[in-house]
Amino acid sequence: MDKRILIPTDFSKNALNAARYALDLYSKLNCEFYFLNVFSLDGYTTKSLSFPEPDSAEYRTAQAKSHDSFLKLLDMLKLHNDNPKHAFHTISTFNYLSEAIKRTIAEKDIDLIVLGTQGASGTKGVIFGSNTVKAMEKIRECPVMAVPKNVQFSIPKEIVFPTNYKATFKRRKLSYLIEIAKMFESTVRVLYVSKKHDLTELQESNKQLLHAIMEPIKHDFHNLTENDVAEGITSFVESRNSDMIAFINHKHFFFNSVFSKPLVKEIGYKAIVPILALH
């Protein structure tokens, strides 16, 4: 069965970079790529009380501009990687970005979303743009991957999987991580960051379950003594030059502790790698 991947785009270099990363990551698989552009109109915003009529001149002009931009984008992607396993589809719409994404997920049965990020140059001290953060937090229907600006594809030899072992693991939630690890014979480094390394009985049980689920792939377990979870993960990734971070997004707490603005302002984030948020 083909994999269906959604890539929202504003036709920026950042969005193009994310698209190229996705094409390379899934170069071995049959994929349907859906590119989504939410266009804007002068005088209208998604906060306006009235929406423009689809047959109005300004609507048709904006839609045509989006269509032309898609033609250029597809030409660039085919030059980058003209893969017979890949098919491209484009969607132009005037809508809230989150609503457009959710509608496309439902209508096209999307398996994975790949997003570009704002990058450190966008807003000082912020690695992930607000749209990317919102998508990774709010979209629960499928995994979301964020590809930082200027990160070029390299085989993900090492994937860091941070966890506190407090929630029970399920095979289906980890299926995308395991699929990527199998494709590239990656090693998954399971990372537990805590002041104390003693696990409760429940945590130990969950750790053994995770070990069983990851049995088909290379993996090992690491403990790191660190007061700050986010700082521990960052230093681990940097020191090992890891290629990707994957984590299960539980109830926002872990997400916010890793990607909050204070983290970036306090310690910076030099070893920028793609992030895969599993739900």
Q: How far apart are CA 258 and CA 276, in angstroms?
A: 13
158-278 CATH pick, 3.40.50.620, 1.20.120.610, 3.30.565.10, 3.40.50.300: 3.40.50.620
Question: Strand pairing partners for 6?
Answer: 34, 113
Nearest to 128 by CA among 110, 113, 148: 148
pLDDT reported for residue 264: 34
What are the boundaries of each domain within the chain? 3-147, 158-278
Q: How far apart are CA 179 and CA 29, in angstroms?
A: 11
3-147 CATH pick, 3.40.50.1820, 3.40.50.150, 3.40.50.620, 3.40.50.720: 3.40.50.620
Using the predicted structure, report yes or no on whether residue 133 has a pLDDT greater than 50: yes
pLDDT reported for residue 253: 46
Nearest to 7 by CA among 81, 79, 67, 90: 90
Using the predicted structure, report yes or no on whether residue 41 has a pLDDT greater than 90: no
Q: Which residue has the higher pLDDT, 97 or 134?
A: 97
Asked if the domains at 3-147 and 158-278 fall in one CATH topology, the answer is: yes
Q: How far apart are CA 87 and CA 174, in angstroms?
A: 26
Mean per-residue pLDDT for 103-119? 88
166-208 confidence digits (pLDDT tens): 989 999 999 999 999 999 999 999 999 888 888 999 999 999 9
221-241 confidence digits (pLDDT tens): 999 988 777 778 888 988 999
